[in-house]
Structure 1
Amino acid sequence: MTRERATEGAADGSADDAVRLAALFDEHAAPVWRYVVHLTGDRAGADDVVQETLLRAWRTPKILADEPSAARSWMFTVARHLVIDEVRSARRRREIDVAEMPERASADATDALFEAILIEEGLAALSPEHRAVVVRAYYGGLTIAEMSAELEIPEGTVKSRLHYGLRALRLALQERGVTR
């Protein structure tokens, strides 16, 4: 932890405040930092706790006016409470440190593959006329009029083939174990 980082909270104050906080840092930062590292084992987290502890001491001038040993024990108590608060925080309970980012979950395509195979087999069981209309309607997205023009058959025939083709497809799929 550097003196500049610890004193950045006093940047908007007077020069006297910055000097007071720098003196506070020089006198107490190292022992408080060692204490927090001993408690947590986290050197980076200890920097944050020490900074907050020093700022609280700086904002409480009565503590600094007392005997230096009393001020330091007060800072140890404040640091300990900050560590306990961090451990108990909801953010800490939900965060899990991992070495690598986990892979994103992806949907299993096995079911979709089996359904596609079943539909392909069911379509193969249809007559070529019925299959042509069903495929154009459901996979091509064509309307009755467009299929009629493309296949050069009347619209009524397209409707009839679509109706009987879907009925035959339903029966073919039921034979393969697909139920509604």
Structure 2
Amino acid sequence: MDSERIRRAQAGDQQALAALLKAHYSFIVKYVWKMSGDEQLAYDVTQDTIVKAIQKIQQFKHKSTFSTWLIQMATHTYIDYKRKQKRSRRIDEKAIQEWKNPQAQNTRDELYDVQEALWVLDDHYRIPIVLKHYYGYDYQEISSMTNVKAGTLKSRVHYGLKKLRKELLSHER
């Protein structure tokens, strides 16, 4: 269904483009929200990502899924936002609910602690960890999204998880 909409959008069909972006809007908002812990920033980054997608729809080459292409744009847009403005992070009850994995048997406090610890991590650790362990992308896919070599990503995930564990242990004391 996406491939047909993409073809039509690339041919200039504005309704197909609007439907395609509408179908992926909440996915991008949730992804950025998990990255930032900031609801308003998630909406701002998503809006900028949508604008970029409209401007660059002709550049989509069908080498990955459309959602992967959008995540790549959203990741770069988020990093640009972070470079431009150093915001204080705030914990939001809605963000905790969004993070919750329905298969996990964690308590609300454990989810809060994990999300809070993730937000303490630098972006270069947090982004690959969330893409790998929450969204299930492999290192090659993450590499193409972030323009970072797969080996570097493996290292960042490894050391990021180590830092995450250390942060979680410090919360238990």
TM-score, scaled relative to structure 2 = 0.38
TM-score, scaled relative to structure 1 = 0.37
Q: Which structure's relative contact order is higher, taking Cα pairs within 8 Å and 6+ residues apart?
A: 2
- Specify the structure having the higher radius of gyration (Cα): 1
